[in-house]
Chain A
Amino acid sequence: MGWLEGRFDESVVTTTLEQAMNWARESSMWPMTFGLACCAIEMMAVGCSRFDIDRFGAGAFRATPRQADLMIVAGTVNFKMASRVRRLYNQMPDPKFVIAMGACTCGGGPYYMYGYNVVKGVDLVVPVDVYVPGCPPRPEALLEGLMRIQDKVKGMKSLTKGQPIDMPIPSRTGYTLLPTELAPQV
């Protein structure tokens, strides 16, 4: 801020517009009420008095994706549900963030081996910002995940760089290569 600092009264804070916007955005994340399975109960516990997600400004659970900017995928996603999760994600306005809560959404969890109907990680369906492992994660873990999302928001540079918000790209394509395919073809 250089030359601006110290020129005003003590009650005035100087900052950049971008930082102010990011600060406002990170302090009022609106999650979507979207409980899928067991983890949803822990998500409810986070919203209740003991853990109280409202302390971090994310307590306004919205019933519709169109008003939410944080999607907490709480629970196993299966193939029947996958297209719905995708549609809900598409309905959310930008900028939007996704927390994959629980082992099932991180990568199939206990249903990896014999779960013929379970999506092995919700990142095959929607891009994920923060993974919160655990089966189910403790409420403190979900709060930690929320703070990591807030860190991410703090670093957004949508104004100064004049570029669209840096959206996360799924790091997995969904297909794994066999060792024979990895080896250079002769």
Chain B
Amino acid sequence: MTPAAILDVLKQRFGDKIKSSKLDGPDPFAVIDPSDLLEVCRFLRDDSRLGFAFLNCISGVDYLEPDPKKAPKAGFAPHLEVVYHLSNFAPKERFHRFGLKLILPRWKDNKPGALPEVPSVTSLWRTADWHEREVYDLCGVWFTGHPELTRILLSDDWQGHPLRKDYEFPLEYHGIRAR
């Protein structure tokens, strides 16, 4: 299916729960609210026309310009995005990809330190288990309903989430110089 057809199917089913979409870029995607994520994902996976059996990737992107001089010209307001890349399991003629995007505040309720929350899709795709742990570890997004949301790449006692743009590199770690 073409991206436009996929978007039509989604719009028929969910109407204005699809907040916006972008089809003309290199990768087509639709933007939804975090609260609708599970419902939309279940439809994407189980609908016979779409059949997105693969969750290829979950990425967290921190939109922030840490330099206050450049911030007004950065072209975006500070926010966090979680991007889901999906594809189906089909031969060449019926193969298609699609993206889902969630737009989150950088901190929940604008309280620095409170991680924004997203429902976990582990129940739909088992791939999400480790990918969500990685996004939590590096980008600082809390996935509610995840069976065991702990750090995966960094050690358990690590401070901060390194892929946040305002992350400060540690000076030392357990007595070892780090810079």
Contacts and interface: CB of A to CB of B under 8 A. Distances in A.
Chain A–chain B contact at Cβ < 8 A: yes
A79 B178 contact: yes
B170 A80 contact: no
Nearest to A116: B169
A79 B169 CA distance: 13
Given A79-B155, A80-B154, A80-B155, A120 B177 contact: yes
Main DSSP-derived SS at the A contact region: loop
A175 B171 CA distance: 10
The number of chain B residues touching the other chain, given as a range, is 10 to 19
The number of chain A residues touching the other chain, given as a range, is 10 to 19
Contacts of B155: 79-80
Contacts of A83: 174
Given A116-B162, A116-B169, A116-B170, A82 B176 contact: yes
A93 interface: no
A32 interface: no
A119 B154 contact: no
B76 interface: no
B176 A116 contact: no
Contacts of B153: 117
Interface in A138-186: 174-176
A124 B154 contact: no
Nearest to B170: A116
Interface of B: 153-155, 162, 167, 169-170, 173-179
